[in-house]
Structure formats: C-alpha cells, structure tokens
Amino acid sequence: MTLRIKPTDRGIAQAADLLSSGALVAFGTETVYGLGADARNAAAVAAIFEAKGRPHFNPLICHYGSVEAAFAHVEAGPVAERLADSFWPGPLTMVLRRRVTCPVALLAGAGLETLAVRVPAHGDAQRLLAAFGGPVAAPSANRSGGISPTLVSHVLAGLDGRIAAVLDSGPCRVGVESTVVDLSGSAPFLLRPGGVNLEALEACIGPVGRGVELAAALASRTLRSPGMLLSHYAPALPLRINVVSVTADEALLAFGRPLPGARLVFQLSEARNLNEAAAKFFEGLHWLDSQAPLHGLTRLAAMPVPETGLGLAINDRLGRASRVG
C-alpha cells in the first residue's frame, strides 16, 4: 500500500525521511506529479526505473531547492544564468554538462555527460526539497508511456503499491511538463515544449533551435533527448487529433465550442484559453479514457489547438498520444 501524506510540516518531514531512506515518494509540482528518489542513491534511482517500467536509456530530471544547489552540480554559463534568473523556480528544465564533482548517480542521467536540472516553483515541492536537503531525481509519476498525472488519483491509478508514498498537493497548476532546453551544445535547443512558452524563452535568450525532424536530428547529431524517441502519454483508446467532425464511436476532447454529435465531451477551455487548457489537458485524457468505454465509445478525438503559447506543449503531447508504437 502506498501512503498518502498530507503536506503538513509533519507530512513533509516524513516524506523527506522516506527519501533519505532510499524510498520512492511521489510529490506535486506546478507541472505534473513527479516520482522522487534521492538522486545520489543509485539503488533508489534504479527503483524509479523499476516502478515505472522505464527504459534505462531514458534519463531523469534532477530537482533542486535553489539555483545555487542546481548549478553546483552542472556547468552553467551566462545563458543558463539568465534563464535561471527569469524562470526559476518554475517549469523550465536545463540540460547542462555535469561537473566532475557531481554526486548524482550516473544511472539518473542514463550515463550521459549531461544532466537535466530544474528548480520547481510549487510550495510543497520546495518545502520537500528544503527538508530533504539534496537532489531529487523525478520523472513524471506515471507508468512509462502512460498519461502524466496531474492529480493524486492519477498517481495512485498507475503506481499504488509500487511506491512508498505520495504527497497530496492537490491539482497541478500548469498541467503540462516543464520545457526542456539543451544548453550543452553550441546553441540552445528545445528538446521538449512545456510550461515555459517558447516565445518567453526566446525573448530572454534569443533564438532557440527546435523542430528538427527526429530522423534528421538522429542523422546529424548524437541523440540528445532519448525520451523524444518514445511513444508517450498514450491513452488506452486510439486518439485522432485535429478533428473537424466526430464519428459515432468517438469521445471528444473539446477546445472551444464542442463539435456537434459528440456523446461524451471533456472541455479543455470553453473560452479557448490555452493556460486553462494545459492545466486540464492530462485530466481530460485520463477522464475520457476511463469514461468512454462506459458509454460504448471506442475511440478518442481531439479538436485543433493553436500552435502558440502553451498550445505548443499541448500539441506536442497530443501528437505523441495519437501515435501508435
């Protein structure tokens, strides 16, 4: 049985003690729930891969309580400093070269010379990181390939009994994962659109490379983000995206006025607000996936979402969720 811990002072101390003992603790962040372990403890990190069923070549993000703590483990240049000033604590992850003295288990970084680091903004995550006092490796708290969790119930649906505890921090405010930017090469490169808009990133540091087709990326450079390869966020039911009409067997993920004829609808944002849609996005996928069969529906369909602001992250997740294999 997985303990469900309230984020009181006592609860935070208990969660930090569990981390210190090498146990796995899921915790809320502003993006999605993370599945945390002491990043310096190789056995604890290995247990994350085990609990998630995650391939070992896919590296984890390390979470820190402060910019100083994060940059003590990686080589941060002026661009990283500027991004940290603007976006930390917050939904941004930077991939940087590990310092030789970095104590994070190599397994956490899947053996790469780089490490993904982030300082989350969520109050409970900050309190947990402060109480624990070390780096916490944490992927999203779902089984590998599944839909990311934005509620405690999502975490427990996938991992109950497989992890020691979950810190109950309520719903996640941003709702999509952090933006991942690679600063280890000659120019900044967007590995995953997420909670920090590309527009805001570029306003801060200038042009950020992106959108290279995976095949071209693989041909021209070493594989920079192993997770990009995987099918992700997959609901159990097949998903069609950018739909302009629904068929009789489809449940609808709506953005704005729902398409006519849908018998089961999850509304991301009636007012077509992208921040609201991002916050509800994974909840919508979880909900439709579980409810559609009860209504005799066998497929999911998603209305188009504009490719601006958080729409970039939503469309990235929709694209992966709709891909088979």
Nearer to ligand TXA, 27 or 254 (CB): 27
Query: Segment near ligand TXA (CB under 6 A), from 6-14, 28-36, 233-241, 257-265?
Result: 28-36
Which of Mg ion, ligand TXA, none sits in contact with 115, Cβ below 5 to 8 A by type? ligand TXA
CB of 138 to Mg ion, least distance (A): 10
CB of 140 to ligand TXA, least distance (A): 4
Rule CB under 6 A: choose which of 14, 41, 178, 269 binds ligand TXA.
Answer: 178
Nearer to Mg ion, 89 or 146 (CB): 146
Rule CB under 5 A: choose which of 93, 114, 140, 267 binds Mg ion.
Answer: 140
Check if the beta carbon of residue 184 is closer than 8 Å to that of residue 200: no
Where do the DSSP E strands lie in 128-188?
Answer: 136-137, 165-167, 179-182
Check if the beta carbon of residue 37 is closer than 8 Å to that of residue 47: yes
Which of ligand TXA, Mg ion, none sits in contact with 191, Cβ below 5 to 8 A by type? ligand TXA
| End-to-end Cα spacing for the chain | 31
Task: List, in order, residues 6 or more apart from 93 with CB less than 8 Å away.
Answer: 61, 116, 117, 118, 178, 179, 180, 181, 192, 194
| Residue with tokens 């909900």, as numbered in its chain | 287
* Helical H segments across 209-260, by residue range: 214-220
Name the maximum alpha-carbon separation found in the chain: 60
Rule CB under 6 A: choose which of 25, 26, 45, 112 binds ligand TXA.
Answer: 112
CB of 279 to ligand TXA, least distance (A): 13
Token pair of 300, please? 């999911």
Residue 93 makes contact with Mg ion by CB under 5 A: no
Nearer to ligand TXA, 197 or 267 (CB): 197
Task: List, in order, residues 6 or more apart from 19 with CB less than 8 Å away.
Answer: 25, 36, 37, 38, 44, 128, 132, 136
3-state SS assignment for residue 75: strand
Residue type, 1: M
Residues 261-320 that bind ligand TXA (CB under 6 A): none
Nearer to Mg ion, 34 or 89 (CB): 34
Residue 322 sits at φ, ψ, to 5 deg, of: -90, -15
Binding flags for ligand TXA, 236-265, as an x/- string (CB under 6 A)? ------------------------------
Return residues touching ligand TXA (CB under 6 A): 29, 31-32, 34, 58-61, 93, 95, 109, 112, 114-116, 118, 138-140, 177-178, 180, 191-192, 224-227
